[in-house]
């Protein structure tokens, strides 16, 4: 089924800008760096989840839901964008928030995304880090049904084949912008976690027979585990779109060197990358995803792994509200 036939709601400000990063390119030397500004998708502070939610919230509506349930870490950008989308559509929103980063910091627990979740009027349910979130969401859905609600479950990170359609469309949008500028994009670099963004982009680029390579910088698991996750979701997304041509397995590339001690835990490289993007381009990254992804990109350029004259697009997937939750991490700046 073609992408245009899937139910979709207008939630995001699209197209997001594609901008050159001249000062960052000069500071690092090597390839020409660009940024695709998916931090500017508009809804409730913006970020990559809004593209996925255009399809997921439409599916929820189509099934007659009046309430959505999703899950994530305390500082989940996905939870915050889901809360904003639900508010905009007049739906209830329940968030299961897991203490993954095990942080007792006051800002982490009360500022940044979680402050915005409360302002969007979401119902917050804190759960311990070893909770089976799918089971917890199911039992919450049962409770809501007993009170007459019609809940719809949005997977963690919005990463189902339906959610990934948002990034199939982003690939189309980006290739259109590149064509308009006569720009040949050699590499696309992004943070990868629940995998829907990378899987959707790969599916979209494959449908267009694009030669652009995609590199996901892992923020929560090893490269091998992440590649398996991306590959599986990409295959399901292509199936949903009735594409018979399989993605070549080698098209799925990730780098697991920038996770540090774990998901949501700061690294020196992340702090330096956040400071570099901000001071050279006025570009705000985030401490959990794009800061680590940029740390990876900086190293790849400095190690000469990307050639002079190549065009490299960094997909900015958002998340800067979390900077306020990680205030003490940046104390030394």
Ligand X SMILES: Cc1ncc(COP(=O)(O)O)c(C=O)c1O
Is the distance from CB of 208 to CB of 197 less than 8 angstroms? no
Q: Is 196 in the site for ligand X (CB under 6 A)?
A: yes
Return the number of other C-beta atoms located less than 10 Å from residue 209's C-beta: 7
Q: Show the site string, 227-266: x = touches ligand X by CB under 6 A, - = not.
A: ----------------------------------------
Q: Is 76 a catalytic residue?
A: yes
Select which of 76, 159, 160, 320 is catalytic: 76
Residue 139 or 232 having the CB closest to ligand X: 232
Separation CA 24–CA 277 (nearest Å): 7
Q: How far is the CB of 227 from ligand X (least distance, A)?
A: 12
Residue 257 or 310 having the CB closest to ligand X: 257
Return the number of other C-beta atoms located less than 10 Å from residue 174's C-beta: 28
Using CB under 6 A as the binding rule, the residues of this chain from 123 to 182 that contact ligand X are: 157, 159
Supply 27's token pair: 């500071």
258: which residues sit within 8 A by CB, 6+ positions away? Answer: 217, 218, 219, 267, 269, 270, 292, 293, 295, 296
Q: How far is CA 145 from the centre of its chain?
A: 30
Q: Is 50 in the site for ligand X (CB under 6 A)?
A: no
Binding residue (CB under 6 A) for ligand X from 16, 25, 41, 48 = 48
Residue 25 or 75 having the CB closest to ligand X: 75
With CB under 6 A, what is the number of residues at the site for ligand X?
A: 20
- Which DSSP string do the residues of 287-324 spell out, in sequence order? TTTHHHHHHHHHHHHHTT-S-TT-EEEEEE---GGGGG
Residue 19 or 66 having the CB closest to ligand X: 19
Which residues are near ligand X by CB under 6 A? Answer: 47-48, 77-78, 157, 159, 191-198, 286, 289-290, 317-319
Active site residues: 76
């Amino acid at each position: 089924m073609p992408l245009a036939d899937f139910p979709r709601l207008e939630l995001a400000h699209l197209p997001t800008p594609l901008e050159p990063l001249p000062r960052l390119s000069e500071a690092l030397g090597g390839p020409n760096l660009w940024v695709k500004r998916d931090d500017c998708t508009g809804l409730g502070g913006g970020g990559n989840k809004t593209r996925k939610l255009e399809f997921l919230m439409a599916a929820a509506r189509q099934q007659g839901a009046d309430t959505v349930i999703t899950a994530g870490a305390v500082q989940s950008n996905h939870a915050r964008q889901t809360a904003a989308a639900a508010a905009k559509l007049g739906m209830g929103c329940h968030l299961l928030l897991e203490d993954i980063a095990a942080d007792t910091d006051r800002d982490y627990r009360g500022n940044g995304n979680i402050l915005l979740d409360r302002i969007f009027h979401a119902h917050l349910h804190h759960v311990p880090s070893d909770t089976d979130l799918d089971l917890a969401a199911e039992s919450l859905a049962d409770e809501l049904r007993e009170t007459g609600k019609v809940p719809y479950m949005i997977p963690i990170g919005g990463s189902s084949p339906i959610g990934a359609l948002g990034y199939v469309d982003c690939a189309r949008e980006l290739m259109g912008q590149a064509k308009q500028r006569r720009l040949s994009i050699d590499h696309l670099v992004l943070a990868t976690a629940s995998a829907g963004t990378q899987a959707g982009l790969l599916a979209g680029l494959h449908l267009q027979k694009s030669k652009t390579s995609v590199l996901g910088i892992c923020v929560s698991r090893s490269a091998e585990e992440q590649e398996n996750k991306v590959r599986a979701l990409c295959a399901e997304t292509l199936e949903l779109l009735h594409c018979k041509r399989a993605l070549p397995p080698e098209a799925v590339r990730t780098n697991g060197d920038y996770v540090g001690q774990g998901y949501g835990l700061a690294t020196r490289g992340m702090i330096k990358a956040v400071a570099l993007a901000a001071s050279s381009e006025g570009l705000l990254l985030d401490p959990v995803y794009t800061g680590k992804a940029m740390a990876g990109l900086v190293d790849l350029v400095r190690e000469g792994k990307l050639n002079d004259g190549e065009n490299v697009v960094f997909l900015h997937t958002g998340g800067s509200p979390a900077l306020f939750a990680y205030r003490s991490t940046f104390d030394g700046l």
